[in-house]
Amino acid sequence: MEMTPKRGWSWLAARPTGLAEEIASCLGVTLSETNIRRFADGEIHCRFDASMRGADMFIVQTHSGPVNDSIMEQLIMVDAAKRASAHRITAVCPYYGYSRQDRKATGREPITAKLVADLLSAAGVDRVVSVDLHSGQIQGFFDVPVTISPRPRCCWTTCASTGRRPRRHRSGRRPVKVAERYSQLLDTDLALVHKRHPRGTYNEVEAMTWSAW
């Protein structure tokens, strides 16, 4: 008798975003209940209702704020799936937390994007899926395969379904190439915003100019 591996999906029951439900609906699969709860001291606990033995697990979790809780919840779900004898575990992180900290800008700084990659690998992830990382070098931080879905493809699907014709705005130096890909794919105008961050400050813009063509 030939055994067919099961396929399970996991989602964040404590903080639903709708993304996992839409993915499951498109693929025609059922979401697995994670039963995430917190103890009085803030510790996170997870327990799957259904058997995960031999299943391909896709654990969907975007690292949105509070980012530390989101990352820890995903790590705990991965560990629970591994100890439940899941055949393969894929961490789906549409937004990868700490991706901006991918290098040392000055001395005595961490490379936290590498730390998050190490945590996912140590937890037992077999593959990571994300959307257009802050920089391509983050893929090299992982010891497991990484699949990146480019944002222009996602944006094209959204605009095609809504019929909208947006104008694309980007700020900073790194995202300019991304904005150019958007502009070419969507056949729309491109506006660039130049901003400078005063040294030692966060989320504060000192000067801003813009141009469009």
Active site residues: 195
Q: Residue 92 corresponds to which tokens in the numbers above?
A: 């789906």
Distance CA 169, CA 183 (A): 10
Sign of the torsion formed by the C-alpha atoms of 151, 154, 157 and 158: negative
3-state secondary structure of 86: coil
Question: Read out DSSP for 89-112?
Answer: EEEEESS-TTTT--S-SSTT---H
CA distances from 63 to 39, 152, 161, 175 (A): 21, 20, 26, 20
Best CA proximity match to 137, nearest among 126, 146, 150, 124: 146
CA distance 182 to 202: 27
Beta-sheet strand order (sheet of 88-93): 31-32, 7-10, 56-60, 88-93, 127-130, 146-148
